[in-house]
Amino acid sequence: MLELNKNSVNKKDYFNFFLLGIFSQTTLLIVFYAYKFSTVLDITLIGVLGAVLAMYAGHYFYKEKMDKRLTIGLIFALAGTIFVILEPLLSPTEGDTTIQRLIGNILGLIYNLTWVTYIVWAKMSMGTNSPTLKKALSFIHIKPMTKKYSPFLIVTLTLYVGLATMIPLAVMENLGFLGSIGGFRVLTIGLNGILGLLYMSVLSSITAYFLYQWGLERIQIADQALYNYLNPIFAAPFAYILLGELPTLNTLIGGFIIAVGIIIAEVRDS
């Protein structure tokens, strides 16, 4: 409320904030379904492509420096990601899990595309000029923000959009209209579930999104995207410890191809 008093939202920007909320918050439904159908390792490796695409988007929309090495690295990362996405077909398992994993991997790719869309648009919403992005928005009959907004305000409003769009779906799911949820009911959540929800809402949502947005305002998209390369390093041991997941040979091959792309993209001439 204090932020709104200092910097009120122009009514012409309501629709833009709604779309930013859809791309950043509501689309989390996509990644949760991706995790439901696929493995943490697959989705995390696919997420590396999001980092590389973000770097390319920073170059295309904001003229951030991009050399030949980065282009080659992007090609390798794309090839490795496609390999990981199609890995279930290369390592088929009994039952329906092969198709389910393939669907999950495709959903993971779609989510990364929506996230890149969000960060590119959000950066302009915080005052960074991009004639190219303005032209792209104009092509689909969307006007850019009428003024600059703070990271905190953008995160707050997009979180509210996510809340407003997810609550009806959550209620429908809990009532069984969106399929079986295995006997789960909101009112029966135990202490561990409550602690998990608090972690996801306070730390991995509010705090993480604000810090990300705050950093996005101050540095290039490419610089922030670098940290996404660390995700598989942290995800792999936890996926094994908590879920017992082990990578297949083809997943390792895809991960290796992605790693080669990262190394090529990040090595600079001395």
Give the distance, in angstroms, between the CA of residue 248 and the centroid of all CA atoms in the same chain: 24
User: What three-state secondary structure class fits 67?
Assistant: coil
pLDDT tens track for 148-160? 888 888 888 999 9
Mean pLDDT for 221-241 is 77
Nearest residue to 126 via CA among 206, 226, 215: 215
Res 177 pLDDT > 60: yes
Q: What is the 3-state secondary structure (H, E, C) of 169-201?
A: HHHHHHCCCCCCCCCCCHHHCCHHHHHHHHHHH
Which residues neighbour 99 within 8 Å (Cβ) at sequence distance 6 or greater?
88
Q: Tell me which residue has tokens 């959009």.
A: 161
pLDDT tens track for 28-73? 999 988 998 888 888 888 888 888 888 888 888 988 877 787 778 7
CA within 13 Å, CB half, 249: 3
Res 187 pLDDT > 70: no
**66 backbone dihedrals φ, ψ, rounded to 5°:** -145, 115
Question: Do residues 21 and 159 touch, judged by C-beta distance below 8 A?
Answer: yes
- The domain spans of the chain are 10-266
Give the pair of three-digit tokens for residue 4.
């709104």
- Residue 53: left if φ>0, alpha if ψ -120 to 50, beta else—which one? alpha
pLDDT tens track for 85-139? 887 877 766 666 788 888 999 999 999 999 999 999 888 888 788 889 988 888 8
pLDDT value of position 93: 66
